[in-house]
Structure 1
Amino acid sequence: MTPQKQVALVVGASRGIGRQIAIDLANNNYIVIVSAKTTSDATLCTPFPPDPNSPSSTINTVAREITDSGREATPIAVDTRDPSSIQRLVDETIKIHGRIDVLVYNSGAIWWASVEKTPMKRFQLMQKINPEGLYGCVQACLPHFEAQGWKGRIIVVSPPIYSRFFRGKTAYAMGKVGMSVLTKGLAMDFEREEKEGMAVTSIWPATAIESAATAQITARDPAEGKDLRKASIFSDAVLAMLRAETKVVNGLLDLDEDFLRRECGITDFGKYSVVEGARPRRIMPKVFPTLEVEEQEDEGRMVDSSKLRKGKARL
C-alpha cells in the first residue's frame, strides 16, 4: 500500500521564504496548501515563473510552479487579520484533503522604528498579522491534529528571545517575541498532556535572506548582495526540523544555520550565498540566553480557567 501523502498548510507562501518552503515541501512529497492574501490569474503571468520576490508572485503562481513540476498544490486565499477567513482556510483544506499534518506560519507585517515613530494603526496591523494571525491558525488546526491522534507539526517564523532584538523596533518585536512565547507555551502544553506526536518549533534566519525587501536595497547597491543568502537555506532547515524527532524540536527557538550545523552536520554553507564565493555576515548572536529558571519544574498552583465556572476563576 502506498503511504498517504502528508498535507502541509503554508500560510504566507506567495513569495520569498514562504514560496521556497512551499515548493520544497512539494518536492519532498507533501501535498501543499499555498496560502496568503495575494492572488492572481496564473495563466496570464508572463514571463513565467515570475520573480519570486516581486508582487507578480502570488499563491496562484506558486501553486502553478508546483503543479507544473508534477507535484500537488492548492492555492487558498486567507486574510490572517480575520479569524473567520482563517477558519475558512482550514475548513477548505480539510474538505479537499481530509487532514493537515504540517502548519507553517510565515505571514508577517514589518515596521522597524522607535515607539515614537510607530503609529498605533501600524502597531495594531503588526499584532493582527503576527501573533494574532498565528494564534488563529493554531487554534483552527488543533482540532484536526486531535482527530488525527495528536500527530502533527507546527513551524513558526519567529526569533529566539533576547534583549538586543527589541532595539529600534519595539512594536515589531512585541509581536514576534509573542509568537515565540506561543511556541514555548504550546510546547509545554504538548509535553504536560503527553501529546508526544506533536511538536511546535520556531525558526529564524542567522543571516539576511534574499527577499522583496532586500531586492530594493540591492537595486540601489548591488554590492549589498554579498551579505545575502538564498531562501533555500531556510526551507532546508524547515524540512530538517520536520524530519527530526518531536522531542528534539518541540519548543525549540532556533536559527536556520545553527540547526543545520548541529543536527545535520552541515559545515559549508557556501551554496546558499546569493553572490558566489561570498560569506554573508551573521546578523544574529552566536549564543542566546536560556529562558529556564531554577524552579522550572515547580508548576505552583495550576489553574485551568476553562474548567472553572464563568466569573469564578481565581489566580
Structure 2
Amino acid sequence: MTATPTHTNKKVALVVGASRGIGRQVAIDLAANGYAVVVASKSYDQTPYAGARFPPDPNSNQSTINTVEREIREAGGEATALRVDTSDPVSVEQVVAQTVQKYGRLDAVIYNAGAIWWAPVKDTPLKRFMLMQRVNAEGLYGIVQAALPHLTKRDPAATPPKIGGRIVVVSPPIYSRFFRGKTAYAMGKVAMSVLTKGLAMDFEREGLADEMAITSIWPAVAIESAATDQFTRQDPKMANDLRKPTIFSDAILAMLRAPAAVVNGQLELDEDFLRRHAGVDDFSKYSVVPGMVPRRIMPAELPDLTVREQDDEGQRINLADEKVKGKL
C-alpha cells in the first residue's frame, strides 16, 4: 500500500551523509531556512537517544540521522531520517524513492557521503580503493541518476511554472597538488568533480542551465569534524586551524539562493564563494578558537580547466540513442 505523501509548501532537500559533522550542520541549517529535510546516512538507530545531554556531541558516534531528525523537529523544523548505504545501488535508488513518496517532490540534493583513506598507492589495499570509489564516485552517480527525473520536474505552483532543481556535491577543485600522498582517495573525489562539470554541460546542451544547476564545494580551511577530532584530542593546538561547519552550510545556502547560471558547473571553495557572492569579508565568527585565524589549506588560485577549443564538440555521439545502438 502506497503511503500518502506529506503535503508541504516547503522545498525538499535530501542530504546524504548527514549524521555528523558537516552533513549534520547542513541538514539543520537547511531546515532552519525553510526546507523539509531528509536526513540520510548509514547510521540509522531506532533506539531513542538516552544520553546525558541532548543533542549529543555532533562529531561522535552518538550523533545519528535519528538524533539529527529530532534536533530539527525540536527546533520547529521538518525532517525525516532515512537510512542509505551509498555503496549499494538498490539502497541509493530506494532513498530517493522514499523521499519523493514521503513529500511528493524533491528540490535539492546535497551529497556529503564519503569514504576516506589518505595513503600512498603502495599502502592502499585494493579493497580500500574499491570501497572509496563505491561510496564517493559511484554513490554520487547513483543518487544523481535516481534524483534527476524529480529534480527536472516543473513546479506548477511557480509563476511561471519552472524547474528549480539543485545538486551540491562535496568534492574539490581539480589541481595536481591534491593528488599527492592520497592518490586512491583523490581518484574518487576528482571523479565527483568531473561529474559536476559534465552534468553541467548536459544541462547547458538541454537548455536547462538557467533553471537547473550542479555545483561542487570544498573547504578552503579545515573544518571541525569527526575526522579532525581524533587529531585535536592528541594535540589541542590543532583546533587553532579549524573552522566551524557553519561556514559550509552558509556557503551551500548561498549557492541554493544564487541564480542557477551563476553556480552551474562550478567547483567552489566555501570561503571564496561567500566572499564573492554573499558579501562576506569577516570570517572570524567561523573560527573554532576565538581570535585565531586558521591556516588556509587550499591554493589562492586554481587552474582553468577550459581550452581554446572549448566550444568545438566535434561529432558528438550518444551511444544510448536508439539509432546509434542499431548500428553497433
* TM-score after normalising by structure 2: 0.93
Q: Which residue of 1 aligns with 2:193?
A: 180
Q: Which residue of 2 aligns with 1:108?
A: 114
Q: Does 1:17 align with 2:30?
A: no
Q: Which residue of 1 aligns with 2:168?
A: 155
| Equivalent pair of 1:34/1:62 in contact (CA under 8 Å) | yes
Q: Does 1:238 align with 2:252?
A: yes
> Which of 200, 203, 208 is 1:190 aligned to?
203
The residue correspondences of 1:296-315 to structure 2 (distance < 5 A) are 296-307=310-321, 308-310=323-325, 312-313=327-328
C-alpha displacement of 1:309 = 4.6
In 2, Cα distance between equivalents of 1:249 and 1:9: 19
> Which of 81, 85, 88 is 2:94 aligned to?
88
Q: Which residue of 2 aligns with 1:127?
A: 133
C-alpha displacement of 1:264 = 1.2
- More divergent stretch after superposition (300-309 vs 92-101): 300-309
> Which of 144, 147, 151 is 1:145 aligned to?
151
In 1, Cα distance between equivalents of 2:75 and 2:279: 30
Q: Which residue of 2 aligns with 1:209?
A: 223
In 2, Cα distance between equivalents of 1:44 and 1:199: 37
In 2, Cα distance between equivalents of 1:275 and 1:42: 34
In 2, Cα distance between equivalents of 1:255 and 1:235: 12
| Equivalent pair of 1:16/1:211 in contact (CA under 8 Å) | yes
Percent identity over paired residues: 64
> Which of 279, 290, 302 is 1:288 aligned to?
302
In 1, Cα distance between equivalents of 2:128 and 2:305: 29
Q: Which residue of 2 aligns with 1:224?
A: 238
Amino acid at match of 1:26: A
In 2, Cα distance between equivalents of 1:210 and 1:275: 11
In 1, Cα distance between equivalents of 2:283 and 2:47: 34
Q: Does 1:168 align with 2:181?
A: yes
In 1, Cα distance between equivalents of 2:139 and 2:270: 23
Q: Does 1:35 align with 2:40?
A: yes
What do the CA deviations read for 1:27-62 (whole angstroms, capped 9, x no partner)? 001000000001123623312110000001000000
Q: Which residue of 2 aligns with 1:68?
A: 74
Amino acid at match of 1:156: V
C-alpha displacement of 1:310 = 3.5
Count of matched residue pairs = 312
In 1, Cα distance between equivalents of 2:164 and 2:144: 14
Amino acid at match of 1:237: A
The residue correspondences of 1:250-265 to structure 2 (distance < 5 A) are 250-265=264-279
What do the CA deviations read for 1:141-197 (whole angstroms, capped 9, x no partner)? 011123336430000000000000000000000000000000000000001110131
* SS across alignment from 1:180: helix
- More divergent stretch after superposition (35-44 vs 263-272): 35-44
Give the 3 Å change call, closer, same or farther, for CA 277–178 of structure 1 in structure 2. Answer: same
In 1, Cα distance between equivalents of 2:327 and 2:106: 36
The residue correspondences of 1:263-282 to structure 2 (distance < 5 A) are 263-282=277-296
Amino acid at match of 1:312: K
In 2, Cα distance between equivalents of 1:164 and 1:45: 45
What do the CA deviations read for 1:258-315 (whole angstroms, capped 9, x no partner)? 00011111111000000000000000000000000000010100001111454735xx
Task: Give unmatched runs, 5+ long, in structure 1.
Answer: none
In 1, Cα distance between equivalents of 2:302 and 2:76: 42
Task: Give unmatched runs, 5+ long, in structure 2.
Answer: 1-7, 155-161
In 1, Cα distance between equivalents of 2:327 and 2:287: 57
Q: Which residue of 1 aligns with 2:124?
A: 118
* SS across alignment from 2:152: helix
| Equivalent pair of 1:42/1:61 in contact (CA under 8 Å) | no
| Equivalent pair of 1:154/1:201 in contact (CA under 8 Å) | yes
- More divergent stretch after superposition (304-313 vs 133-142): 304-313
| Equivalent pair of 1:25/1:239 in contact (CA under 8 Å) | yes
Q: Does 1:8 align with 2:21?
A: no
| Equivalent pair of 1:45/1:56 in contact (CA under 8 Å) | no
